[in-house]
Amino acid sequence: MEAASTNRPPLMLVHGAWLSARSWENFADYFRDRGFTVSAPEWPRKRGDVEQLREATQELEGLGLTEIVDHYGNQIKSLEEPPVLIGHSFGGLIVELLLDRGLGRAGVAMSPAPPKGILVLPFSSLKAAAPALAHPSKRHGVVPLTLEEFTYGFVNTFSPEDASAAYERYAVPETGQIFYEAGFANFHLHPPTEVHFKNGDRAPLLIVGAEKDHTVPASLSHKQFEKYAKSDARTDYIELPGRPHLMMVGEGWEDVAARIESWLDSVLATPPVTASA
């Protein structure tokens, strides 16, 4: 492993729902090799490896988005300098919320779960979230995924053998509460998913869409990009052809990382903007 470059900020990876920090294993090595000091914290209450997380599910009951965002916010504040943030799925939404709080040097939201203000969700998104949303009794409980559900929502472009291997390596049960907080956000005045799209003082943001994504179709990622259009802060969008939701795993993940690295290089070459008093 190469030593971290002195001119690289720290980099924090934020995993998504039905996953753990293990989902970042490829990206963590990639960015460490390019001089970043990388951390990939688990969500609060998630302890142990994937196999342990599949057994110890009670701790996740009632875990909501605000607790998760606060958890990452506290870790960011403990660092000597603002980190680059890269989040996937719900982790992408968490990155958006953290940037909105004024945290982070720059942020990348990969197929981010939608914040408040996205009014229409595609059918495939609703189907992918159905294991949680179709069962109101699971709102404060914990929701596992079957192999079939994981394949549809995360790795629909994989061969059956590769999909099964990804399921065994990465899939974990998840708190049901976050899906209800996101799914019904537009019925509440100030839900946990609220982002101030016009915030011009936040750090630069890249939204990454994936062409073959069922859970967050590229059209949904692009709608979020459009919501930020009136902000003075830098916001960019790229769409990756042929990629499913779990774009940092499987054949071609290096291309995904390289596209993100290229954007980060352009951002980090510019001194950070200091928010006006």
Q: Concatenated DSSP letters for 175-220?
A: ESHHHHHHHTGGGSSS-TT---TT-SSSPPEEEEEETT-SSS-HHH
Angle (CA) 12-18-19 rounded to 5° is 40
pLDDT single digits (tens) 148-161 = 999 999 999 999 99
Task: Confirm whether 193 is domain-assigned.
Answer: yes
- List residues bridging with 107 in a β-sheet: 85, 205
Residue 175 near residue 62, CB atoms below 8 Å: yes
Length of the chain: 277
Q: Which domain holds residue 135?
A: 11-268
pLDDT given for residue 191 in this prediction: 84
Task: Confirm whether 6 is domain-assigned.
Answer: no
Distance separating alpha carbons of residues 267 and 273, to the nearest angstrom = 11
pLDDT given for residue 1 in this prediction: 35
Task: Confirm whether 62 is domain-assigned.
Answer: yes
pLDDT given for residue 52 in this prediction: 86
Which tokens belong to 155?
């790795």
Q: Which of 37, 39, 38, 41 is nearest to 7 (CA)?
A: 37
Distance separating alpha carbons of residues 146 and 238, to the nearest angstrom = 31
Residue 112 burial (CB count, 10 A) = 30
pLDDT given for residue 60 in this prediction: 87
- Using DSSP's 3-state secondary structure scheme, residue 155 falls into coil
Task: Confirm whether 80 is domain-assigned.
Answer: yes
Read off the CATH number of the domain in which 107 is found. 3.40.50.1820
pLDDT single digits (tens) 75-89 = 999 999 999 999 999
Which tokens belong to 260?
């993100």
- Per the listing, tokens 């982790």 go with 91
Task: Confirm whether 133 is domain-assigned.
Answer: yes
Task: Confirm whether 4 is domain-assigned.
Answer: no
- pLDDT 10s digit of each residue in the chain, 277 long? 343 445 799 999 999 999 999 999 999 999 999 999 999 999 998 888 888 888 877 888 889 999 999 999 999 999 999 999 999 999 999 999 999 999 999 999 999 999 998 877 889 999 999 999 888 877 888 999 999 999 999 999 999 999 999 999 999 999 999 998 887 767 777 888 899 999 999 999 999 999 999 999 999 999 999 999 889 999 999 999 999 999 999 999 999 999 999 999 999 988 776 544 3
Task: Confirm whether 195 is domain-assigned.
Answer: yes
Distance separating alpha carbons of residues 122 and 236, to the nearest angstrom = 22
Task: Confirm whether 273 is domain-assigned.
Answer: no
Total domain count, the chain: 1
Q: Calculate what percentage of the chain has a pLDDT beyond 70.
A: 96
